[in-house]
Structure formats: C-alpha cells, structure tokens
Amino acid sequence: MSRQTPFTLTWGNRIFKMVRTRLICEPSSLKEAALNSRIQHACGLATNRQALRFAIAAGLLAVVAWQVHRAAMAQPASSPPATVKMTVDYGDGVQKSFVRLPWKAEMTALDALRLADKHPRGIDAKWRGSGANTFLTQIDDLANEGLGANDRNWLVYVNDELIDRSIGVFPLRKSARITWRYVTAEEAEF
C-alpha cells in the first residue's frame, strides 16, 4: 500500500469532489478542461477514447460470460450410467455379486450373464441353445443335476420374481436385480 502524503490526500479530495459534481465528465470552461486533463494524467485515468474502448471490451466480456453461464445452466446434469446388478447364490452360504454391469437397450438376462462371464473376477457360465431356447447348464463348478427331489439346479430371478421364459429373450430394465440360485425344488421360491 502506498503511503499517502498531504499532497495526495489533497488531490484525492479534489478528484472526489470533481467526480461528485461531474466536472470531470462535463467541463464548462477551458480552465476546468485543463484541470481535468491534469487530474487524469496525475491519477493515471484514461482518455475518453481509451475509456470508451475499455467500456466496450468490458461489456463484450460480460456478454460472453453471461452466454457461457447460460449455456452451462441449460445442459442437463449428467446422470450415472444405467446398470443392472447380478448375484450368484451358490446355495452354500457363498454369493458373488456384480453390482454395476452396464445396461443397454434390449438387454436380456443372458447378456448380463455374458458380462459376468467376461469379467476378470467373474464366473464361468455354460449354456446351450440360443434365443428362446437358451438354457443355463452350469456356473463355475456347479452344474444342473436333474429333476430328482434332492437334485440342485440353477434358477434365475429378476427383481425377486422367477422368470417365465428363456434367459435368451427375457428383457432387463435399467437397475434390474438378477439373482441366480442353486437350489433344490423344495428350496425354490415360485
């Protein structure tokens, strides 16, 4: 901060009074115009042409800033990507979960199974058939055992409901919860 001397305080007071009474902007005599010129020079004030250029530049900058702000406000907030969740319940107290499998339009339960199968720490799933005839036969080392009363098989639930068609055609919605359960017929929830 610069040290103010009585001289600068005096000039500061004069400038303040002149600005307040609008003498700087509207000189009414040659003497006032000369005084204004000295004041502008002493205070580092710009000439009228420079002041006009500065005002135009500041105005343009304000318009650009406003437009950028308006454009930023018009853009919708980015939402997190749509996902589905898949859990594999081995029936022995162990489960494996995939909490963010990327969802896409027209995704089926088989597509989610394929994503989990391709994951670096995923599962080893085996199925046969295609489309409406797709049938899961095994996940990791647990294969379907058959139709006996104590035989264990893989059943798939979407949002806690047993699916009513093949995994190859069963559509998934955003945020669907897929659960594969290795259960006997008695343990199954129909």
pLDDT digits (tens, 9 = 90+) for 44-76: 555 566 767 777 887 888 888 888 878 777 766
Model's pTM, two decimal places? Answer: 0.59
Does 2.170.130.30 match the CATH number of domain 83-183? yes
8 A C-beta contact, residue 170 and residue 109:
yes
Least confident of 77-81, 90-94, 158-162: 77-81
User: What per-residue confidence (pLDDT) applies to 8?
Assistant: 47
User: What per-residue confidence (pLDDT) applies to 47?
Assistant: 59
User: What per-residue confidence (pLDDT) applies to 53?
Assistant: 77
User: What per-residue confidence (pLDDT) applies to 84?
Assistant: 97
Long-range contacts of 165-168 (CB under 8 A, 24+ apart): 165/132, 166/129, 166/131, 166/132, 166/133, 166/134, 166/135, 167/108, 167/109, 167/110, 167/113, 167/127, 167/134, 167/135, 167/136, 168/108, 168/109, 168/110, 168/129, 168/130, 168/131, 168/132, 168/133, 168/134
Amino acid at 49: R
Structure tokens at 19: 């600005």
Q: What's the whole-number mean pLDDT along residues 166-177? A: 96
What is the spatial distance between Cα 6 and Cα 10, in angstroms, rounded to a whole number? 6
What is the spatial distance between Cα 64 and Cα 66, in angstroms, rounded to a whole number? 5
CA atoms within 13 A on the CB side of 178: 32
Q: How confident is the model at residue 20 (pLDDT cuts 50, 70, 90)?
A: very low
Q: Where are the domain boundaries for CATH 2.170.130.30 in the chain?
A: 83-183
